[in-house]
Structure 1
Amino acid sequence: MRKATRVLTALVLAAMCVPAADTALGGGGRTADDAVRSAARWTVRYTASGDENSAMRVIPTASGGAWLFTTGARRPGWSMLRWDGTSWKRSTPPKQFDKAWSLEVGGSPSGETIWAAASVAHGDEDASTEHLWRFSDGRWTHQFSRDATWTGVIDIAVSSRDDAWFVTSMDPDGAPSAVLRWDGRALRYQEGPGEFDMTAVAAAGPNDVWVVSRRQGPRTLHWNGAAWKEVDHPCVAESVRSPCRGRRHLAWMSLTAQPDGRAWAVGPASADGGSPIVLHWDRTRWTQVSLNVVQTGLTAVRTDPVSGLWIAASPASGAPYVLNLRDGRWTRSTLPGGGPADRIIDIAPAPGTTRLWVHTVRRELAGDKEVRTVYELVQ
């Protein structure tokens, strides 16, 4: 990583937090508009300088630690670090990670099982092979290799050590996205939902899987263990309802699925001038949740049985923040010292706690320099 600066001591910052009252919707929230007071702390756990080619992935564990996968401007090559509650320790990933240009990772709810799709270039500059690795019981095992020149894995959902789902990008020549599944014994191609271009996947179990497709507008599809079914939501392409009308980027919605059969979707990730969309699946239908903001990108949505629902928001002007719905109440925690140059890239709840790991990026005004920071937020 070029000019990387690691912060191994905690910098604790008091966060400005604004909770929002909620009208319960069967375990969900109908509105996130009304603000009340609260408090939270943001603690810097890691920071590094780089450019737009830098990247990070964070996976918290139930034991109180976290895994961090990071690369700098000088790709290929990814590093793997482990947070033990006090400091980061370097870990040894598969050697193929040293040659990988891209790395997509996903962790189980406990964080103890990790899947990684490492894309390694070979021969022709445009040709690449993707290697799928599984980390469990403290060691990596190679599971699968595939030609990924045009159709690399773009999202991974891991519901348990014995259930993981992968979706690939669509071939530019027209071949649809592919679905792969780990069933605890083997990794194999799974029946796909047809001619769809998938962008995200979320899984609560082998019989409860959601994907987002951008084929013919933003679509959501559900796997019930036997077949795929397209499920309409309030912001399908032909919707004339405000604020759905005219939305062009909802095909890149972020998804999360809960063990109780509920699900959430948010988007778009970019602050494109319209109102962001929050959708809640109540086991029967998608319902739109009121969020009275504009020009704000919703970059990620995650859930945890203890800490509840988390949504990352990055407004076009002002500091980014996270929304949390727990026990029928919304809270809003703003990145201290943040501004329009800051953006929340991803969030990850620490399993079984009220803590949240937050990955941010700040674009420097001069040149293409970026500063990436990993925070631990404690409510």
Structure 2
Amino acid sequence: MPDPVSRGAAGRATYLAALGVAAVLVTGCTGPPPVAPSGPDDVWALGSPHEGAGRLLLLHFDGRRWRERPAPEVRWSSEDDERFPALVATGPRDAWVFAATTAVTAYHWDGERWSDARLPDLRLDPGERADATALAPDDVWLVAGDHASHWDGRAWTVMRLPAWAASVSAAAPDQVWAVGGTGRPAAQGCSASQAATMRWDGRSWRLVPAPEDRTPSQEINSEGRPDGSIPSIRLTGVVAHGPGNVRAVGTRSVFDYEDGSRSTTITLHWDGTAWTRVAGSAYAGASGSDGADGIILVDWDAGAEGGLRGTIRVAPGGGRTELAPMAGADRGREVDVSALGAVPGTRTVYAAGLAYGRNSGPLIARYR
């Protein structure tokens, strides 16, 4: 059952768009939003103005209450929401923020202050994204476009990826997964692409075959004939639970004569041998680990009537269960969820975003 944790200061229209949850786990379990091993009383949430440009807002939960913490000196515009800074944490004295504009910059938290971290020059073209995950203070991964970079506690090592990545997750040092698309992302709309999944096995990054969809569109084009274009598929999130259980979420976009394109959510499951497509949902606005071996999908319109209705848990076997609406003060308020973060090994999941109304402000809810 979800319960409201924090809505922030009244009138402060801040959108919480990233979570970093640290919890006890030997091997770690990371994904979008990031999860890292440390303790159950270490949760970070990052946000920025819902409209316009401004500085970041950083909140931290110590097991008892949420407090605002100093944030890196980063200004962010809501017009570039797909490039919101990535946040990972392995404990209260080790957190990273990676800000992506035309290049990626890194900031490290040592428990007292943020400092600029030396990062190799990672350029981003329009449409490309960056994401990060961390297993330990000396085992951090960053993906940006078609490059991956690894922090070993002393220096960053940059590697070329076999496709374009949008998300990264790690279950162990030799079980790191990145997902995205086979085609270069476009600045506006979609580009020709199929789903791309890549794995780091401890030695190199390799492309792992994923299901393709080349069904020609039957939509009638301006010439009165079937359009014939194939779907564009791009994965946007991945959660690695273990060697035989990895989940990936993305979008399937097809030609639509009136709107240009129409998108639906797809979900894939890796069983240790191959990827298979499983039942998805309507267009999901956020996804992440359920804290066990499955994933949670938040429907794009789940918060339109308040209470996060339409939040689905996809179990390891593919079964789907709708979670109960958010109870309490926010039940009648419209909310918008942009990030999920789970405490591994438990059913505790945090959802972050924005609560609308007379006193709009940041929203953090907790499912357990």
TM-score, structure 2 normalization: 0.68
Q: Is the 8 A contact 2:288 2:297 kept in 1?
A: yes
Aligned partner of 2:348 in structure 1 is 355
> Shift in Å at residue 286 of structure 1?
0.7
Of structures 1 and 2, the one with the larger relative CO (CA 8 A, separation 6+) is 2
Distance 1:119 1:275, change over 3 A: closer
> Shift in Å at residue 285 of structure 1?
0.3
2:284 corresponds, among 273, 293, 297, to 297
> Shift in Å at residue 43 of structure 1?
2.1
Deviations 1:287-316 (A, max 9, x none): 22234x5x4326313253xx3323222155
> Shift in Å at residue 233 of structure 1?
2.2
How large is the Cα RMSD of the aligned pairs?
A: 4.0
For the residue of structure 2 that corresponds to 1:180, the secondary structure is strand
Aligned partner of 1:204 in structure 2 is 171
1:259 corresponds, among 242, 259, 266, to 242
Give me the whole-angstrom Cα distance separating, in 2, the residues matched to 1:340 and 1:277: 28
> Shift in Å at residue 220 of structure 1?
1.5
Aligned partner of 1:125 in structure 2 is none
Aligned partner of 1:346 in structure 2 is 339
Give me the whole-angstrom Cα distance separating, in 2, the residues matched to 1:71 and 1:228: 33
Give me the whole-angstrom Cα distance separating, in 1, the residues matched to 2:230 and 2:43: 36
Identity of aligned residues (%): 19
Deviations 1:134-192 (A, max 9, x none): 335665453224556745862112233222211223xxxxxxx32211123311212x1
TM alignment of 1:276-355, pairs within 5 A: 276-291=265-280, 293=281, 295-297=282-284, 299-302=286-289, 304=291, 307-314=292-299, 316=301, 320-324=309-313, 330-336=320-326, 342-355=335-348
Aligned partner of 1:174 in structure 2 is none
Aligned partner of 1:86 in structure 2 is 64
Give me the whole-angstrom Cα distance separating, in 2, the residues matched to 1:322 and 1:112: 33
Aligned partner of 1:41 in structure 2 is 2
Deviations 1:73-130 (A, max 9, x none): 4633213222233332232344x34x5667523325667642211358xxxxxxx664
> Shift in Å at residue 267 of structure 1?
2.7
For the residue of structure 1 that corresponds to 2:170, the secondary structure is strand
Deviations 1:35-89 (A, max 9, x none): xxxxx232242246566x8443222332324222222246332132222333322
Code of the residue aligned with 1:117 in structure 2: it is F
Distance 1:299 1:268, change over 3 A: farther
Give me the whole-angstrom Cα distance separating, in 2, the residues matched to 1:298 and 1:93: 25
For the residue of structure 1 that corresponds to 2:294, the secondary structure is strand
Distance 1:261 1:108, change over 3 A: farther
For the residue of structure 2 that corresponds to 1:251, the secondary structure is strand
Give me the whole-angstrom Cα distance separating, in 2, the residues matched to 1:224 and 1:313: 31
Code of the residue aligned with 1:297 in structure 2: it is A
Distance 1:278 1:78, change over 3 A: same
Q: Is the 8 A contact 2:169 2:178 kept in 1?
A: yes
1:117 corresponds, among 88, 93, 98, to 98
Q: Is the 8 A contact 2:245 2:272 kept in 1?
A: yes
Aligned partner of 1:223 in structure 2 is 200
Q: Give yes or no for the alignment of 1:184 onto 2:153.
A: yes
> Shift in Å at residue 261 of structure 1?
4.5
Aligned partner of 1:70 in structure 2 is 47
Distance 1:349 1:285, change over 3 A: same
Distance 1:250 1:55, change over 3 A: farther
Distance 1:137 1:88, change over 3 A: closer
Distance 1:110 1:373, change over 3 A: same
Q: Is the 8 A contact 2:2 2:325 kept in 1?
A: no
Give me the whole-angstrom Cα distance separating, in 2, the residues matched to 1:247 and 1:361: 35
Q: Is the 8 A contact 1:64 1:85 kept in 2?
A: yes
1:193 corresponds, among 161, 166, 184, to 161
Unaligned runs of 5+ in 2: 23-38, 78-82, 184-192, 217-227, 255-260
Give me the whole-angstrom Cα distance separating, in 2, the residues matched to 1:363 and 1:311: 23
Q: Give yes or no for the alignment of 1:375 onto 2:365.
A: yes
Distance 1:325 1:198, change over 3 A: closer
Distance 1:359 1:250, change over 3 A: farther
Aligned partner of 1:161 in structure 2 is 137
Give me the whole-angstrom Cα distance separating, in 2, the residues matched to 1:56 and 1:352: 23
Distance 1:74 1:327, change over 3 A: closer
Q: Give yes or no for the alignment of 1:144 onto 2:118.
A: yes
Give me the whole-angstrom Cα distance separating, in 2, the residues matched to 1:278 and 1:149: 29
> Shift in Å at residue 249 of structure 1?
5.7
For the residue of structure 2 that corresponds to 1:76, the secondary structure is strand
